Amino acid sequence: MGLEELQREGETLVASAGPYQFTRSRKDAGWGVAFGLAYAAVVVAGIYGYVNRNPDFALINQDYLSDPENCPLHGGRRLREAGQGDLPAFDAGEFMSQAAGWLGAGVALSLLLGAAFLRLFQHLPETMTRATVLIQVAAPLAVGAGMLGSGQGRASLLPLGLAALSGLAFYLWRAEIGLASRLLGVSAHGLAANPHLITTSVLLGVASVATATPLAAALVLSFMNGDVVPNPGRDLAAAGGACLDEAGDPVLCCAWGVDPWVKPAAALGALAMLWTLLLANQVRVYVISGTVAQWYFAPPGALHATRGTTRCALGHAFGPSFGSLALSSLVLTITEALRNSAERNAQENQDVLSWVMSCIAQCLAGIVEYLTKFATVFMAITGDAFFAAGRRVTDLLARNLLDAFASTIWFTPMVIQLAAFSMAVGWGFASGGVYYLAHRGAAAGVEASPGLNAAVLGGMVGLASLFLLNFLGGVLLAVLDAAFVCWALDRDAQSVSHPEIAQAFDAVPRKGAVVEQPGGGLAYGGLAHEAPAQQRV
């Protein structure tokens, strides 16, 4: 729909410009149906749980569960209907009366911090990268120096050693770090050309929360089906009013026992919620990638090259490619479940084999997530089915990535995350510090603990800022991934759509030009034989 409207309005958008496919057929549709059925099943289970819930579930508190009369050993009984006192609510009256305005101002000004974050990476990527590297070395160095100055010589060895190792690692990887800074500049440039991606990402985030809320409610409602039963960890032979375990330690006399159908329903609900959240993230990556690709491959000089691109990408995400996105997010859901299972098994067993299996699971999960991300980017550009996109993008990455982008891919998220953390911590300290300076002279009757309120305020503002900056950092990284795949497709076609972006990616260590092998496959020859790429006109 977006393309047809733009063509009717006389815009210079050509469907055949570059590899971006505007007209697409529906792919992997069955997996979209499977997601819908799983979602509906959990919602139905939640409705059933609400209708059949134990109405006295809300009466449970620690005092109730400590009374053995409420779970006699001879058999279960329904919760008594006698009114029980509600749990006391946390009273933050003083904090809210004194710091509510400060909190609102601090969070609101975090938006300016976010704008500065993007501007700095757009115009000063090398400075931001060097600053984050310096902070990662200087922070443990300062901690170690402080401990050494206070007489804690042995304890200071750990932070000082960490600072030394970090400094050595960053020195050895200085070329890759410099390249990562240029790539972050590319990402910020792409985001500046498509500023509506931030608004779209925010709206998609809100939509994902709204979509996951019924599943969370269904999980809560399902656990309201059951009865109070004797605590399984309670020593049934113990006499007296107090309840003890086999070691003689006091425990709660009662526990909440759910109905038999609740556990499998809760497992399905948890998987469905994880699937939903991962699907929302895949949609976000898909929309960002599709939007960036349309801008990247737009003919030079096209008027309003970004007009309607997000709407077009959204239409593809919730239309022809929804099944593929459901499948890709299901793969990530299974991967995450297996990784968590291996990690939980290692923590429970505490043996070498379990830890080795957990490490293997972590590595395999990282590879699957990495390839799935690029398969999603490729789907957004070409409209391929998920597994077809995975095969094609793996081949593309093998020709462009193994000795190039991979050498910097681990640095760009590190720089983004550390920059976000540093700026958020700094803003939190500044907010709390200004509040304390303004309130430290308050009378005791007006504000009993200005220092504590300042610490809480600084922590809350810092957390809000960290959430915002990490969100913007995620958008930056998604733009970078999309720009890299677009550049790789350009390179396969021996063309240059954006010279400034190509210049940054061409700086990475890479192979030679694309050549056709006798069998028909593509490979790269030596750099000495590389023909100059032609700028697309």
The larger pLDDT score, comparing residue 367 to residue 506, is at 367
**Range with the poorest average pLDDT among 328-337, 426-435, 440-449, 460-469:** 440-449
Round the CA-based radius of gyration of the chain to a whole number and report it. 28
Question: What would the pLDDT profile of 485-526 be if each residue is shown by its tens digit?
Answer: 888 888 887 888 778 777 777 766 555 444 555 555 544 444
Give the start-end residues of each E strand in 443-490: none
**Range with the poorest average pLDDT among 87-101, 353-367, 371-385, 477-491:** 87-101
What mean pLDDT do residues 90-99 have? Answer: 60
What mean pLDDT do residues 440-445 have? Answer: 60
pLDDT value at residue 95: 65
pLDDT value at residue 391: 93
- pLDDT at position 275 over 90: yes
C-alpha span between 138 and 291 (Å, rounded): 39
Phi, psi of 514 (to 5 degrees): -70, 130
- 54 CA to centre of own chain: 36
Question: What would the pLDDT profile of 190-247 be if each residue is shown by its tens digit?
Answer: 888 888 888 888 888 888 888 999 999 999 889 888 888 888 777 655 555 667 777 7
pLDDT value at residue 53: 85
The larger pLDDT score, comparing residue 424 to residue 303, is at 424
What mean pLDDT do residues 33-55 have? Answer: 92
Q: How many CB atoms lie within 10 A of CB 104?
A: 11
Q: Is residue 251 a contact partner of residue 78, using CB atoms and an 8 Å limit?
A: no
How many DSSP H helices and E strands does the chain contain? 17, 6
- pLDDT at position 183 over 50: yes
What mean pLDDT do residues 319-341 have? Answer: 95
pLDDT confidence tier of residue 453, bands split at 50, 70 and 90: confident
Residue 266 backbone class (left: φ over 0; alpha: ψ -120 to 50; beta: rest):
alpha
What mean pLDDT do residues 31-56 have? Answer: 91
pLDDT confidence tier of residue 26, bands split at 50, 70 and 90: very high
Indicate the average pLDDT of the chain: 79
What mean pLDDT do residues 380-407 have? Answer: 80
pTM of the model: 0.77
pLDDT value at residue 112: 86
C-alpha span between 270 and 218 (Å, rounded): 10
Phi, psi of 232 (to 5 degrees): -60, -25
C-alpha span between 264 and 477 (Å, rounded): 37
Q: What is the 3-state secondary structure (H, E, C) of 74-126?
A: CCCECCCCCCCCCCCCCCCHHHHHHHHHHHHHHHHHHHHHHHHHHHHHHHCHH
* Amino acid identity, position 472: L
Kindly state the tokens that stand for 506: 């061409």
- pLDDT at position 446 over 70: no
pLDDT value at residue 281: 93
Question: What would the pLDDT profile of 126-178 be if each residue is shown by its tens digit?
Answer: 888 888 888 888 888 998 888 888 888 788 888 889 889 988 988 888 777 77
- pLDDT at position 404 over 80: no
- pLDDT at position 6 over 90: no
What mean pLDDT do residues 54-77 have? Answer: 70
Q: Is residue 183 a contact partner of residue 401, using CB atoms and an 8 Å limit?
A: no
